[in-house]
Amino acid sequence: MLKTRQGRVRYQEDLITLMETLPRAHSQHDRTPGDGKLKLDNIDFRGADLSGMHFDGLLFDECDFTGANLTGTSFYKCGMRSALVNRVNADGANFINVNMREAQLKESYFIGANFEACNMLHVNMWDSNLNYATIIGNDMRKVNLRDCRIKHAIMDKNKLRGVNLRDVQFTWTGGIPRFFYDTKVNFEQADPEDWFYGYKLSAADGKGIYHPAIKYSVGKVFDAEYQDSDPAKRIPISKKYNSGIALAPLDWVLREWVLCGAYADYQCFRCKFQAKDVIENEGNTKFNVRKMEIVEQIDMAPFYAMLSEDIGYHTGGTASAIDDFRIAGNEESSD
């Protein structure tokens, strides 16, 4: 049985039976009701398991697919205008030549999915995961991609004017303009001799937290091609063997410090470098340089204090009495 979004019964049969018995419309543009052809617009598919199914030329305008399983599902030349496709799992799904303008595809998983030759005008894809997706030849004008993950994807030959790209992660995605992800463009517009500042995080011994080949200290100039492990040996800059010295804005470095455990003895340095020494970006925000000079060490104490672990609660079932989660002395005062 298929019901409309308003709860009225449209078809007594299930979807598979309908697809096998009713005549199909010639295309998703055939929207005239009551002609005996299979029309699925305004149907409630919330939570339905449609995984692995193949839909060819069907009309799904204004349907509600919220929470549905669309894993490996194929939509070919279908109509999905103003459809609700929120919080779905559509990993590996195919959307080929689909008209989905003004649809909502929010908070959904499209990992490894394929979008090709679709009309996606004004589609809202906020906070969706499109890692490893193939997105080619679509009209994506005015699409909302805010907070989306589009890493390791192919995103080529799309109309993108008016797209909302705020806070999108484009790491290692091909086919898009460099300025969507490459921090280096900030420095390419500057005079090669201009100076800029970035920040470097090190462990307590002054060495890099991931590549401890250089020991950093204030007042010294560091060249990525000459490392402490073998000062007499030059290691040329290359993607395979030496990607340079990684720097980042202070907020990025502090978040990485928290990720590493927020140790009080870790060190953070403010560094200066010239535009000509910037090599490339490395992920979102971080970038690499050939050469830089450390001008000062940042006091980490204020940031360490912001991470106080005196939370005032017993956790994990350690309270001394049922529902007595607050530690004595930490109760909020009341007037």
Phi, psi of 317 (to 5 degrees): 80, 20
d(CA 130, CA 135): 9
pLDDT digits (tens, 9 = 90+) for 258-301: 999 999 999 999 999 999 999 977 666 889 999 999 999 999 99
User: How many CB atoms lie under 10 A from the CB of residue 233?
Assistant: 9
Give me the domains of the chain, ranges plus CATH numbers: 1-181 (2.160.20.80), 185-305 (3.20.170.10)
Residue 174 has pLDDT above 70, yes or no: yes
Q: Could you tell me which of 287, 300, 268, 291 has the C-alpha nearest to residue 201?
A: 268
Most confidently modeled range among 102-106, 166-170, 221-225: 102-106
C-alpha distances in angstroms, 160 versus 178, 183, 246, 273?
A: 14, 20, 31, 34
pLDDT digits (tens, 9 = 90+) for 103-140: 999 999 999 999 999 999 999 999 999 999 999 999 99
Q: Greatest CA span in the chain, whole angstroms?
A: 83
Q: Where are the alpha helices (DSSP H) in the chain?
A: 15-21, 185-188, 250-259, 301-305
C-alpha distances in angstroms, 287 versus 48, 187, 231?
A: 44, 11, 24
> How high is the pLDDT of residue 286?
86
Least confident window among 60-69, 121-130, 325-334: 325-334
